[in-house]
Structure 1
Amino acid sequence: MTVTATPRPTGHPGYTETLPCETQSARAARRLVLVALAVWGQEQLTDDGQLIVTELVANAAQHTSSHLIRVRITYQDDAFVRIGVVDKSRRLPTATPAGDGDTSGRGLALINALATQWGCDPLPWGKRVWADLTCERNP
């Protein structure tokens, strides 16, 4: 896995990786979250962050025909970490109620429960689905 740190125009540090749009890419995305949170001293967010990125990658793999996705983790002013996945589909995510016997359909509900907030930014060629986790202040 190649992890690249990229300075954002807003000055927020970030880690990004382009991955195949398939469910197996969730493993590399989880490692990226682990590395970023460790560098920023926010290890307490690792479990939630890894679950969120897994769901975002799975949703892109299941609901788009993109060949690649871009996973981005940014550290926003010591306040929150944003985890996002960009794909080339313009189809926006929609939460659908999952029945007791359903084996899928709970991803957005899980993200909603774990994240401080989440959303989707339409892009001219696709979309960015993101979720924020509130940081604990370092002493």
Structure 2
Amino acid sequence: MSVAADRDSTGGSNEIGPPQHSAGNGLQPTTHEVPMTMTASRPTGHPGYSETLPRRPESAATARRLVRTALAAWGMEELAYDGALVVSELVTNAVKHARSEVIRLVVSRPGPATVRIGVVDKSKAPPRHRPSGSEDDSGRGLVLVAGLAAAWGTDQLPWGKRVWGELRRKDSW
């Protein structure tokens, strides 16, 4: 993606911003790669958000912020609490079980009243419900996701999997 352009060819400094295109003014667009969260159009006409995160426990906080930001941008703040819980559990599972240094968070809108929160990792092993006792520190994440999400599942990918949960506005059920 081209995100920068030379301001002028007479010694002016480069400035980060959208590419500058103007006939006859001497501005030549250049390309610089800048890490950023991308927004892309989806078939429903709604944007989606994604970000690559390090496979570390602290990434759950970043993921929660991204989900809350996406939901606020879409006017769906009523789903923020459940969305933060779902993404926390999905990221925590990926941190524990993935086989790569990074994971990918994807927040999309497959429909006007639906948000899909997905975490992609390079492990092909599907998530499993584990029995957990009252004294166990873990093992309840997928039960929580299943309880909060209108739907959830796993998509197998050539290099790993995507585990996702969908939240829907209550008035759309």
Report the TM-score when normalising by structure 1.
0.92
| Distance (Å, rounded) in 2 between the aligned partners of 1:69 and 1:116 | 24
**Structural mapping, 1:56-67, within 5 Å:** 56-67=90-101
Give how far 1:7 is off: 2.2
Give how far 1:21 is off: 1.1
The 3-state SS of whatever aligns with 1:23 is coil
Could you list the per-position Cα deviations for residues 35-71 of structure 1 after superposition, in whole angstroms to 9, with x for gaps in the alignment? 1000100000000000000000000001122211110
Give how far 1:13 is off: 1.5
What residue is the counterpart of 1:70 in the other structure?
Answer: 104
The alignment status of 1:133 with 2:167, answered yes or no, reads: yes
Aligned length: 138
| Maintained 8 Å contact 1:17/1:70 | yes
What residue is the counterpart of 2:38 in the other structure?
Answer: 4
Give how far 1:128 is off: 0.2
What residue is the counterpart of 1:39 in the other structure?
Answer: 73
**Structure showing greater relative contact order (alpha-carbon pairs closer than 8 Å, 6 or more residues apart):** 1
The alignment status of 1:109 with 2:135, answered yes or no, reads: no
RMSD over aligned Cα, in angstroms? Answer: 1.8
The 3-state SS of whatever aligns with 2:118 is strand
Instruction: Determine which structure has the larger helix proportion and give its number.
Output: 1
Identity of aligned residues (%): 53
Q: Which has the larger radius of gyration?
A: 2
Unaligned ranges ≥5, structure 2: 1-34
Check 1:2–1:30 CA distance in 2 against 1; reply closer, same or farther (3 A cut): farther
